[in-house]
A = this chain, B = another copy of it.
Amino acid sequence: MTEKLEAASLKRRIRVARGEEPGDLLFVNGKVVSTFTSEVLECPVAVAEGRVCALGGEGREADQVVDLQGAYLTPSFMDPHIHIESSMLTPEGFAEAVVPHGTGATVSDPHEIVNVFGMAGYAYMRESARDLPMDIFFSIPSCVPATHLETAGATLDADSVAGALDAYPDAPALSEMMNFPGVLFGVDDVIHKIAAARDRGFPVDGHSPGLAGPDLDAYLNALIMTDHECMTAEEARAKLRRGMWVFMREGSAARNLLDLVPVVDKGTLARLCIASDDRHPDDLVAEGHMDNALRVAVGAGVDPLWALRMVTLNPAQVYGFRDRGGIAPGFRADLAILDSLESFNVRAVYHRGRKVAENGRLLEAIERKNADAMLSSVRLPVDLDAKLNAFPSSGQVRVIGVEPAQITTRSEIGDASDAGPGKPIQFLAVVERHRGTGNVGLGFARGFDLEGGAFASTVSHDSHNLVLVGASPLEMSHAARTVADMGGGFAVVRKGEVLARLPLPVGGLMSRGDARKTASALAAVHDAAKACGCNLPAPFMTLAFLALPVIPSLKLTDKGLVDVDKFELVPLAL
């Protein structure tokens, strides 16, 4: 996990360290954060060839001397678990948004785009992330699709996973093993994926929300290494005691950090990280990224030097990056300059010894890589309208009860004749958009409260089929076509008019624009949803999880309604 060593570059760094020739950069008058000892040191830091080459030393010279004027110098931050796609930005746009906030690296599971385009999506993400002013390490998705109850754009079985691990030996891990029931029941394909990773020396990331007791132990027999789903300090402690690295999550959809702070102590410190898991564009703009998480942690009483360690050295150690996460000779000069260890305001960011951001701004625009192969991901069934007209018009039906700001749902019963504009329930559909199967799953939902209109979205975990909710099938059809015409994204339509749209043409998941514009389009979409009568705080996030059949209780996929507790398809009409 360290790049190849160039002998000439090493020789020069040795000479610079010995004071035999000037370095590239010399930071002076700074407070240098040692993540190794949890101390603040006052010494110059010399940089050459993109790496730190000395701490301290009298009378050093350098091409450029940076006077830190008492500011803090820290390693830039590493987010050890984030799905970049959740930012609705491509890696380029994501980097634009987070680098000025001090992020220097992430370990990212690109399972959203891989659900759409398979390993071609993985290759696209890697290529897009080349030459950014930060480093993104993409793990190999383990659970595509998440279940057999849905149709994704790709299927990665154990052989495909083994092939991917062989093709990308520098991948940091096999991504979160979400299929914990598959582990518990010893399902061959799941066991063989784990064995494929382990036999090749890859760690396996975990995903085990709420798992406890014998089932947690059973899951961990597969040597699952990490967890980012803890919701209570008790859960975190149980997982730490069982050898897991615990990533305390502070993201957009889930914010667990405050609840987990009680688990931080001198005994557990070395096994804790902070991760975001997902981060929406509006939050990136308004709050930032790991800098925001640091403010939250320190605000809750965590020692700032410990908090910094959780976003620098500890994540590096989890994934075996031996030259990251600290300011030391030989380590990468990926650095952030902070005003204070309270505000965590990021004054400047260096990547490989080059200043890449200052005062909240990137210093150089990031050119977008070619994404042509990712642009045609939405294929509507030719008979979509006919299928949307197949809703029962009367009689008892299952109804998905959505809850504000929750990704769980209630399983309810209703009457089909209660669906329509201003009525208690609305029409719901999930349209398979990848393979042209023509699958359309139909359902009803309570909680959207539409007086009219329809919403469409191609972001729907994890298969990312087209999900529609509307006051009528006709409006839903319009919303679907609006989104299909953009190549994916979000749309709100009403009475034949498009009220708002957010194009996400890259795999139907990501915009090629920047965070600010994407956040503003997202706000417009939310406003339009509200204008239709919907009072959910984040209606498109609610939609995005309606099709995820691993979260209780009743969900809808392109194959139909899923009773999550029974983990099987159930009919719409009772």
Which candidate, A267-275, A346-354, A435-443, is the interface stretch facing chain B?
A: A267-275
Q: Is the CB–CB distance between A184 and B14 below 8 Å?
A: yes
A-B pairs, 4 with minimum CB distance? A243-B328, A38-B267, A270-B270, A220-B329
Assembly stoichiometry (copies): 2
Query: Which of A's residues lie within 8 Å of B, judged by CB?
Result: 1-2, 4-7, 10-11, 13-15, 17-19, 34, 36-39, 41, 51, 53-57, 183-184, 186, 188, 191-192, 194-195, 198-199, 201, 203, 213-225, 237, 240-243, 266-271, 305, 317, 320, 322-323, 326, 328-331
Q: Is the CB–CB distance between A18 and B214 below 8 Å?
A: yes
For residue A249, give the distance in angstroms from its CB to the closest CB of chain B. 19
| Docked complex Cα distance between A329 and B217 (Å) | 6
Contact A241 B18, CB 8 Å, known A188-B7, A191-B10, A266-B266: no
Q: Is the CB–CB distance between B5 and A243 below 8 Å?
A: no
Q: Is the CB–CB distance between A225 and B267 below 8 Å?
A: no
| Cβ 8 A contact of A243, one of B183, B213, B329 | B329
Q: Is the CB–CB distance between B7 and A217 below 8 Å?
A: no
Q: Is the CB–CB distance between A223 and B56 below 8 Å?
A: no
Q: Find the B residue at minimum CB distance from A51.
A: B221
Chain B residues, CB < 8 A from A55: 217, 241-242
Contact A220 B328, CB 8 Å, known A18-B184, A55-B242, A213-B56: yes
Chain B residues, CB < 8 A from A54: 214, 217-218
Q: Is the CB–CB distance between B323 and A2 below 8 Å?
A: no
Q: Is the CB–CB distance between B18 and A222 below 8 Å?
A: no
| Docked complex Cα distance between A201 and B34 (Å) | 25
Q: Is the CB–CB distance between A243 and B199 below 8 Å?
A: no
Contact A217 B53, CB 8 Å, known A194-B5, A241-B328, A243-B326: yes
| Docked complex Cα distance between A10 and B223 (Å) | 10
For residue A175, give the distance in angstroms from its CB to the closest CB of chain B. 17
Q: Find the B residue at minimum CB distance from A60.
A: B214
